[in-house]
């Protein structure tokens, strides 16, 4: 298994509170990604990082921010959680972006916003 650890694995939070999900990797891979998965929508990219302090938006970035201060850690923050952000969040990593390298996923973080 790819060395990816997500925390927390399960969280229930109230609307309007800030939430931070952490992704930690031991593979020293350059690229890290945050996806969310919802019924009927599949996996959608929220944000990604191509190096320390280098991040960019994905297709569903509104309401989310990220930070990457170390190669091994990629944080996803919901500044003010809303019920629409109830979802399963997957972190993923990749060494490079050329054709020969694929993306491997962490075990997921289940977030419920009530």
Partner 1 sequence: QKEVEQNSGPLSVPEGAIASLNCTYSDRGSQSFFWYRQYSGKSPELIMSIYSNGDKEDGRFTAQLNKASQYVSLLIRDSQPSDSATYLCAVKGEGGKLIFGQGTELSVKP
Binding residues vs partner 1 (CB under 8 A): 31, 33, 35, 40-45, 48, 50, 56, 58, 90, 92, 94, 96-99, 101-108
Taking the CA atoms of residue 78, residue 26, residue 99 and residue 48 in that order, the dihedral angle to the nearest 10 degrees is: 10
Cβ nearer to partner 1, comparing 43 with 82: 43
- Shortest Å, Cβ 55 to partner 1: 11
> How many CB atoms are closer than 10 A to CB 69?
10
Q: Minimum distance between the CB of residue 11 and partner 1, rounded to whole angstroms?
A: 16
Cα gap 33→48, rounded to integer Å: 4
Q: Which is nearer to partner 1, 18 or 55 (CB)?
A: 55
First to last CA, the chain: 33
């Amino acid at each position: 298994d790819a060395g990816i650890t997500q925390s927390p694995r399960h969280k229930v939070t109230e609307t309007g509170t800030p939430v931070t999900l952490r992704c930690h990797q031991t593979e020293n891979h350059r690229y890290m990604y945050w996806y969310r998965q919802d019924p009927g929508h599949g996996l959608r990219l929220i944000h990604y990082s191509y190096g320390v302090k280098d991040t960019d938006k994905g297709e569903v970035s509104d309401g989310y921010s990220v930070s990457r201060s170390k190669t091994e850690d990629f944080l996803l923050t919901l500044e003010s959680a809303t019920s629409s952000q109830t979802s399963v969040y997957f972190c993923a990593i990749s060494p490079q972006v050329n054709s020969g390298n694929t993306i491997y996923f962490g075990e997921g973080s289940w977030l419920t916003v009530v």
